[in-house]
Amino acid sequence: MLHRAVPGAKLLAFALVLTGVVASANVLVVGGIALTLVAVIVALRLPWRPMLLLALYPGIFGAIYSFAVATDLLSASLIILKAITAALVAVLLMFTTPYPQVFAPIQRVLPAVIGDALLMTYRSLFLLLEKFSHTLTAVRLRAGLIGANPIRSAATITRSLGGVLLYSIDLSQRTHDVMYLRGYDGRLVVTPQPSVSAWIDRGVAIVGAAIGVMAVAWRIWWPGLNPYAWIPPLVAMVLLVVALAWRVFRKEPV
Amino acid sequence: MAALMLVGMSSEIIPIAYHINLTVLAGILLGPWLSIITALIVNVMLALVGHGGVTVIGLNTLVIVAEMVVGWFLFGQFARVFGRRRPAVSAAGATVLALIVSTTLLVGIVALGGSPAATRESGAFNPATLSFANPFGGGVVTNVIVAPQAEQPAPKLPVARFAIMVYLLGSVGWLIEALITALIVGFVARVRPGLVFEGASAEPVRAPLGDEGTHT
């Protein structure tokens, strides 16, 4: 369902949920948001393993930062959980929206050179990764990488990266020449994805707004609402259990 | 160049702990103005995959631009001192100093931030206040929302502890980055010296398609 929502609605929901995560100062509320996002991932049959791995990565750096600055264990947990939850929101957006559709709204408000560079960088990234992989394979076949001599292997890998650097410069020059020949006039235009269902779009925006408003409300009126901070994670846990049960009921692999 | 920086960041030297940035290399090759655009693009793309925060894209860009511009400037100065025959030495020195500057800038930004709300948890598990009563029983608006707010003292941010950790852990990364940047700059200076010493203003070399296939 999230794949069918229009990118604008998803970006709005992303901004609202992220605002809630940033504004919150209650570990249970942030935990509730994280569990809700996991429930969405499970319900929509998205690849949860790579998504969670990507989301956990910033938690490592959050742990280093919290070790340095946190005053107690709960504050440290809050820092780490906020880093993971914010990353999970971003990963959920990127796994359900094509990159050009995410860049298109950004491109409209940024200068043309930056907007076009975002799109071309996305394209070039995969070309360079493939080139680097092929180069390393060729080096390995020619015994350039030897486990017994890590220094020589490291120097070889670095020179391979230098070769990829020269390839990337030549690639960008050729790409510019080809685009100029094909009529590039200084701005790439991305056709916006049409809306499939206005209800799905509104639903995504409303859910994002609900999460953001809930988190901000708990931040503003925390003395009165904190005693009931167990409610958001409980609701999120119920949603997660329902999503898992639905997948099991339909005999789908989790 | 932004794509190459992202490729470099995906190549972990020590898994989870260290990855190369290639920021100083990009600064040397691109010069100061293109470095700003490159740093912004890299930060936007990293934020969208969860590596780096969306709300700190501006600050991250500032730090990386400082790294690239300082690296570019120092490489130019060191190249005058050590000559064009030792670009690797110039690149290594420029990388270490540029990373020291950017790390100091990072510590300064954290210190200027003071005591953010993130370092103060509002008491989620406080057993004294935890309640399983109906939150709407007494009226949410009058009893919850309109109730007077209690002042919470902000704890002092231990900047010194943060700085010690960052400088200790970062110093290993500086040396690794300097070594890798020196090796790459040395290689590129042998193959295409104009790219290293003239940077973005060098006359482009339109290399014909070789064995790299039909990529355009």
Residue B199 has a pLDDT of 64
Distance set, CA A10 to CA A1, B44, B113 (Å): 11, 17, 31
CA separation for the pair B46, B25 (Å, rounded): 19
Is B153 a residue whose pLDDT tops 70? no
For B181, which residue in chain A has the nearest alpha carbon? A158
Residue B110 resides in a domain: yes
Give A252's DSSP letter.
-
Distance set, CA A231 to CA A29, A35, A118, B138 (Å): 8, 12, 41, 17
Q: Where are the alpha helices (DSSP H) in chain A?
A: 7-23, 27-43, 48-69, 73-96, 99-109, 112-141, 150-181, 198-220, 222-225, 231-249
What's chain A's Rg over C-alpha atoms? 23
Higher pLDDT, A75 or B151: A75
Helix (H, G, I), strand (E, B) or coil at B14: strand
Going by pLDDT thresholds of 50, 70 and 90, the confidence category of residue B123 is: low
Residue B148 has a pLDDT of 47
Is A13 a residue whose pLDDT tops 80? yes
Residue B102 has a pLDDT of 92
Looking at the partner chain, which of A27, A91, A131 has a beta carbon nearest the beta carbon of B124? A27
Collect all residues of chain A within an 8 Å Cβ-Cβ radius of residue B149: 221, 223
Residue B117 has a pLDDT of 45
Residue B78 resides in a domain: yes
Task: Quote the Cα angle for B103-A106-B4, to 5°.
Answer: 50
Q: Which amino acid is at A116?
A: D
Is B190 a residue whose pLDDT tops 90? no
Going by pLDDT thresholds of 50, 70 and 90, the confidence category of residue A232 is: confident
ipTM over 0.95: no
- Interchain pair A86, B50: CB under 8 A: yes
Residue B186 resides in a domain: yes
For A129, which residue in chain B has the nearest alpha carbon? B7
Highest mean pLDDT out of B12-21, B63-72, B110-119? B63-72
Total number of domains constituting chain B: 1
Higher pLDDT, B135 or A241: A241
Collect all residues of chain A within an 8 Å Cβ-Cβ radius of residue B122: 25-26, 219, 222, 226
Collect all residues of chain A within an 8 Å Cβ-Cβ radius of residue B125: 27-28, 74
Structure-token match 């180069």, residue found: A135
B112 interfacial to chain A (CB closer than 8 Å): no
Residue B66 resides in a domain: yes
Residue B144 has a pLDDT of 47
Residue to substitute from A121, A129, A164, A235, interface B, most B β-carbons within 10 A: A121
Minimal CA separation from A251 to chain B, in Å: 31
Residues sharing a CB contact under 8 Å with residue A245, sequence separation 6 or more, in sequence order: none
- Interchain pair B118, A94: CB under 8 A: no
Residue B85 resides in a domain: yes
Q: Which amino acid is at A175?
A: T
Give B19's DSSP letter.
E
- Looking at A192-196, B71-75, B86-90, B198-202, which range is the least confident one? B198-202
Collect all residues of chain B within an 8 Å Cβ-Cβ radius of residue A214: none
Q: What percentage of chain B carries pLDDT values higher than 90?
A: 16
CA nearest to A11, candidates A96, A102, A133: A102
Going by pLDDT thresholds of 50, 70 and 90, the confidence category of residue B129 is: low
Are A226 and B124 in contact, with CB atoms under 8 Å apart? Answer: yes
Q: What digits encode the pLDDT tens for the residues A145-187?
A: 666 677 777 778 788 888 888 888 888 888 888 888 888 887 7
Task: Quote the Cα angle for B154-B156-B161, to 5°.
Answer: 145
Residue B53 has a pLDDT of 73
φ, ψ (nearest 5 deg) of residue B19 = -140, 150
Are A32 and A122 in contact, with CB atoms under 8 Å apart? Answer: no
Q: How far from chain centre, in Å, is Cα A234?
A: 25
Q: What digits encode the pLDDT tens for the residues B38-96?
A: 898 888 888 877 676 777 888 889 999 999 999 999 999 998 888 888 888 999 999 99
What's chain B's Rg over C-alpha atoms? 24
Collect all residues of chain A within an 8 Å Cβ-Cβ radius of residue B37: 113-114, 117
Q: Quick one: A102 exposed, middle or buried, by C-beta within 10 A (0-12, 13-18, 19+)?
A: buried
Range of the domain at B18: 2-114+159-201
- Looking at A35-39, B19-23, B131-135, which range is the least confident one? B131-135
Q: What digits encode the pLDDT tens for the residues A16-38?
A: 999 998 888 888 889 999 999 99
Q: How many CB atoms lie within 10 A of CB B111?
A: 13
Residue B216 has a pLDDT of 47
E strand intervals along chain B:
12-14, 18-19
Residues sharing a CB contact under 8 Å with residue B174, sequence separation 6 or more, in sequence order: B95, B96, B99, B100, B103
B158 interfacial to chain A (CB closer than 8 Å): yes
CA separation for the pair A22, A9 (Å, rounded): 20
The domain that holds B43 is classified in CATH as 1.10.1760
Distance set, CA B42 to CA B9, B49, B169 (Å): 10, 11, 23
